[in-house]
Amino acid sequence: MEEKVNQMPMLGDAFPELKVKTTLGPMNIPGDYKGKWFVLFSHPADFTPVCTTEFVAFQKQMHEFDKLDCKLIGMSVDQVFSHIKWIQWIKSELDVDIKFPVIAANDAIAMKLGMLHPGKGSSAVRAVFICDPAGKVRLIMYYPQEIGRNISEIVRAVKTLQISEKGVAMPADWPNNDLIKDRVIVPPATDMKTAEKRLSEYECYDWWFCHKELDK
């Protein structure tokens, strides 16, 4: 009999429906976030140094996610009471009040989201899922347990995904790209007539590499 394998979501897939326990009560994800962007990020374990630095960093940049109308959701396979105690410790010892919900996942949920990698032991890796208002997965990142995430890059990723909805592409290191600074890339022409017009319509290195100011 063929063994059933959990298929983790891929880019463009609907985020799997999860009924979960969190530090803010039971939730349905992505249903409770319909119409909102959200970032769901997992951490290996409560009461660990790297995870603590990440939670503090996420909370301190929560205002940047709020500007983008994007919600934060934490997750690990620890139980809710462990999450609560850890959050209380962060507040009392580091003076940071964690406002976003933290999911108490089980192994089935962790496997469904690709958080358990056999080569990295039994702890969940640091996964990041950025989802759009329709609940579709738009970006995925995985980090090993020993490497903390760059929260500013996650903010930038949400911002660039939202801008790309306008039918443009985003250059490396936007808004500080070496070639075009904070400008955005016009999708390449796909027919001869459009290609011939491109050089007169936009600033270009060639017809297949044109760029413009970001529409405000």
For the annotated catalytic residues, the residue numbers are 51
Determine contact, residues 51/44, Cβ cutoff 8 Å. yes
- How many other CB atoms sit within 10 Å of the CB of residue 180? 18
DSSP state of 167: S
Query: Which alpha helices (H) appear in the chain, and where do they start and end?
Result: 49-60, 62-67, 80-94, 107-112, 151-164, 192-201
DSSP 2: P
- Name residue 29's beta-bridge partners: 18
Positive/negative CA dihedral, 95, 96, 97, 102: negative
3-state secondary structure of 31: helix
Residues 6+ apart with CB under 8 A from 111: 6, 8
Q: Which of 151, 102, 142, 140 is closest to 120 using CA atoms?
A: 142
Give which of 152, 157, 56, 162 is closest to 100, Cα–Cα: 56
Q: Element (H or E) spanning 71, and its range?
A: strand 70-76
